Amino acid sequence: MVGSVIHARDRRAAKNFRPDRPRTWDKVMADHTEDAAADPWFRTTSPEQAIHLCGTAFDPHRLTLLGQSNGFGLTQRVASVGPSRLATSPTPQPWRWASRRLAAAITSTFRSKAALATPRPHAGKRIHWRRRLFAKSIQIGKSMVLNRLNLADLDVPVIVAPMAGGPSTPELAAAAPNAGALGFIAAGLLPADAFAERIIAARKLTSGPLGVNLFVPQPSAGTPATFKAYAAALAGEAEHYGVRLGEPRYDDDDWAAKLDVVHDLRPEAVSFTFGLPTMGGCSRLQNAGITTVATVTTVLEAEMASARGAGALVAQGPSAGGHRATFDPVAQPACQPLAVLLAALSARVDAPIVAAGGLATSDDVNGVIGAGAVAAQLGTAFLLAHEAGTNPVHRAALKDPNFTETVVTRAFTGSYARGLRNRFIDEHEAEAPFGFPEIGKLTGPLQAASSKGNDPHGMALWAGTAFRQAKAGSTAEIIAELT
Ligand SMILES: Cc1cc2nc3c(=O)[nH]c(=O)nc-3n(C[C@H](O)[C@H](O)[C@H](O)COP(=O)(O)O)c2cc1C
pLDDT digits (tens, 9 = 90+) for 217-241: 999 899 999 999 999 999 999 999 9
Domain ranges, ordered by start, for the chain: 2-146, 151-217+252-403+461-482
Which residues are CB-contacts of 155 (< 8 A; sequence separation ≥ 6)? 90, 91, 180, 181
Instruction: Please compute Rg for the chain using Cα positions.
Output: 24
Q: Shortest CA distance to 83 belongs to which of 74, 94, 72, 75?
A: 94
Pocket test for ligand 1, best of 380, 391, 468 (most atoms within 8 A of CB): 380
**How far away, in angstroms, is 397 Cα from ligand 1 center?**
17
- φ, ψ of residue 385 to 5 degrees: the values are -65, 145
Rounded mean pLDDT of 21-31? 41
Q: Is 50 exceeded by the pLDDT of residue 258?
A: yes
CATH number of 151-217+252-403+461-482: 3.20.20.70
Angular region, 143: left φ>0, alpha ψ -120 to 50, beta rest = alpha
Cis peptide before 177, with omega less than 30 degrees from 0? no
Contacts of 312 (CB under 8 A, 6+ apart): 151, 269, 291, 292, 293, 294, 351, 352, 353, 354, 374
**Alpha carbon distance 316, 244 (integer Å):** 35
The partner residues of 182 in beta bridges, in order of sequence, read 159
Which residues form ligand 1's pocket by a CB distance below 6 Å?
161-165, 167, 186, 188, 213, 273, 295, 316, 319-323, 325, 356-359, 377-381, 462-464, 466
Residue 199 has pLDDT above 90, yes or no: yes
Beta strands, E only, 72-209: 77-80, 158-160, 183-186
Q: Are 346 and 372 in contact (CB under 8 A)?
A: yes
Which numbered atom of ligand 1 lies nearest the CA of 186? 8
CB 463 within 8 A of CB 417: no
Lowest mean pLDDT among 6-15, 104-113, 315-324, 332-341: 6-15
Rounded distance from Cα 272 to ligand 1 centre (Å): 12
Query: When comparing pLDDT for 42 and 457, which is higher?
Result: 457
CA atoms within 13 A on the CB side of 309: 13
pLDDT in tens, 334-388: 999 999 999 999 999 999 999 999 999 999 999 999 999 999 999 999 999 999 9
